[in-house]
Amino acid sequence: MKKDWQIVKTTITAVLKGSLGKTEAAKLLSVSLRSIRRYLTKAINEGAESLQETRGGNHRKLTWFQIKQIQQLKKAGPWRSARWIKDKLNLPVDSVTVWRTLGKLNRLNYEQVKPITRFEAKYSNELWQTDIMGKIFFPKINTYLYLIATLDDHSRFCLSGKWYQKQSKINVFSCWYQALSRWGLPDAMLQDKGSQYRPTGLVGEAEYQYYARLLNIKLVFAHSAQTKGKIERFWRFVQRDFVRENLKCSTVGELNQHWQEWLFWYNYCFIKKQIFL
């Protein structure tokens, strides 16, 4: 509850004049005797007018004029971020406050200085992306688990996927075999430079590379996570939509059963695009 400092000044002045006791003043202002003594000391040393709110606080409000300035800057340059506008106007608020003030203006379209080039395979089975999602702890199972999956670059169809306790080479081959035996051979595979896919040394050939060569599958190794953008976005969706709803699974088998049900929904209900495999 905000204090009325005029009442505080009047009460403390009455205490100083002797017309009101400290205990009565404390009850009147709903504060402790210690606060009354602190008010008295301040009033004696600095005068009764010094009794006022001195805390700055973090709460700041934008004026009507500042809000109009924010909106005008955004409309004049839709690419301008909330942080840029805050710095430009030297506003005493956080960037998040500016962003909230902009509201629907945050979604204004604008032409890119350099258009973003996004690659997508022209047809299904032209390129598959495969990866291992970082370990996630399942409290009921009391262990960390890895999700290994393969995604079609053109359709985003998840060709295979399963939860494992280890991110070992045999589990990678198991997931790969499930995809190949059901959906055929891709022209190329995109994966990172993990030891499951290529040798750690400068020379030699990993088993994964050997079998890909026998099947005439071109291997493309990603230099960064951005290269595997589609499957990285798929991981984020899995964590948000599947993992949080299944953290209470008590066995790996139960988790994988739920996973297959979710995967059927993802492939045949969530994905809008018609798939021709």
- Average pLDDT (236-265) is 93
Whether pLDDT at 277 is above 60? no
What pLDDT digit, counting tens, does each position of 110-123 carry?
Answer: 666 555 556 678 88
Q: How far is CA 114 from CA 76, 111, 117, 118, 226, in A?
A: 19, 9, 9, 12, 18
Q: How far is CA 148 from CA 2, 238, 264, in A?
A: 57, 12, 16
Whether pLDDT at 5 is above 80? no
Q: How far is CA 28 from CA 37, 141, 143, 192, in A?
A: 14, 60, 60, 71
Q: What is the pLDDT of residue 275?
A: 46
Q: What is the pLDDT of residue 118?
A: 61
Whether pLDDT at 74 is above 90? no
Q: What is the pLDDT of residue 276?
A: 40
Could you give the count of Cα atoms lying within 13 Å of 147 in the half-sphere of its Cβ?
26
Higher pLDDT, 245 or 274: 245
Whether pLDDT at 214 is above 70? yes
Q: What is the pLDDT of residue 54?
A: 61
Dihedral sign, Cα of residue 181, residue 147, residue 240, residue 235 = negative
Q: What is the pLDDT of residue 35?
A: 87
Higher pLDDT, 50 or 212: 212
What pLDDT digit, counting tens, does each position of 146-171 carry?
Answer: 999 999 998 889 999 999 999 999 99
Q: What is the pLDDT of residue 102?
A: 86
Whether pLDDT at 60 is above 70? no
- Average pLDDT (182-191) is 92
Partnered with residue 126 across adjacent β-strands are: none
Percent of the chain past pLDDT 70, that is, above it, reads 88
In our burial notation (b when 16+ CB lie closer than 10 A, e otherwise), range 198-216 reads beeeeeeebebbeebeeee
pTM of the complete model: 0.57
Q: What is the pLDDT of residue 206?
A: 87
| Least confident interval from 98-112, 132-146, 232-246 | 98-112
| Least confident interval from 34-38, 160-164, 199-203, 211-215 | 199-203
- Average pLDDT (236-253) is 92
Q: What is the pLDDT of residue 53?
A: 64
Read off the pLDDT band of 216 (50, 70, 90): very high
Q: What is the pLDDT of residue 193?
A: 84
CB 209 within 8 A of CB 219: yes
Read off the pLDDT band of 242 (50, 70, 90): very high
Looking at every residue in the chain, the average pLDDT score rounds to: 85
Measured distance CA(240)–CA(104) in Å, rounded: 25
